[in-house]
A and B are shown apart, each in its own frame.
Chain A
């Protein structure tokens, strides 16, 4: 069974930093692209970042470029999102999702910037 579990969400002050993690299981992690997608309270879905299975190709939304860094540890089946210079606009539930087709999602982790 494919399972994605996010962690690391917290209440942080504007200008602060946070590192999110996504633990993957039930599939060959290194073979899959991974994404971070966020959802602000009461709003729609916003794609944040993408990383290829090998980790050598990464893309970011303009809203986070230069502030967020996506990475992965294939030996530990883990995906990460390092976030810095956080603003209130970054307040959201952050989901990790597998593949370009977003075929599996975690339950999300809440980041509150206030």
Chain B
């Protein structure tokens, strides 16, 4: 199985900060990475697919990059509504696997 390792597991930042979350895959997964956002008590929502494709309606302050085994989610200017847990997920092969999540809080 492909392991997805996210870092950090938690993060505290101020409104307006640039925030970066990393995800490392245990093998080359090409660009088949999703980034999902989950707010407390809510279902996850897709932010970015195929490493860098922003889903329609997602604010442009979110972006994704990377290749092979190293991937990054960036929030260019943190907003209060971005408080959530973020997950990376690979879908290059079964079983699909998720990172353990990064809990983002406001400082």
Contact = CB atoms under 8 A, between A and B. Distances in A.
Interface of A: 35, 37, 44-47, 50, 59-62, 95, 97, 100-108
B95 A45 contact: no
A106 B94 contact: no
Contacts of B101: 44-45
Given A44-B100, A50-B96, A62-B95, A106 B43 contact: yes
B1 to A, nearest CB: 8
Q: Determine the main DSSP class of B at the interface with A.
A: loop
Contact of B94 (A37, A46, A50, A101): A50
Interface of B: 32, 34, 36, 38, 42-46, 49-50, 55, 87, 89, 91, 94-101
B95 A101 contact: no
Contacts, number: 56
How would you classify the secondary structure of chain A's contact residues: helix, strand, loop or mixed? strand
A105 B46 CA distance: 9
A45 to B, nearest CB: 5
A51 to B, nearest CB: 12
Nearest to A62: B95
B102 to A, nearest CB: 10
Given A100-B91, A102-B34, A95 B44 contact: yes
A44 B98 contact: yes
A46 B98 contact: yes
Contacts of B96: 35, 47, 50, 100
Given A44-B99, A46-B98, A50-B96, 14 more contacts: A37-B44, A45-B38, A45-B87, A45-B89, A47-B97, A47-B98, A50-B94, A59-B94, A62-B95, A100-B32, A100-B91, A101-B46, A101-B91, A103-B55
Contact of A45 (B44, B46, B49): B44
7 contacts: A44-B99, A44-B101, A45-B38, A45-B101, A59-B95, A62-B95, A100-B96
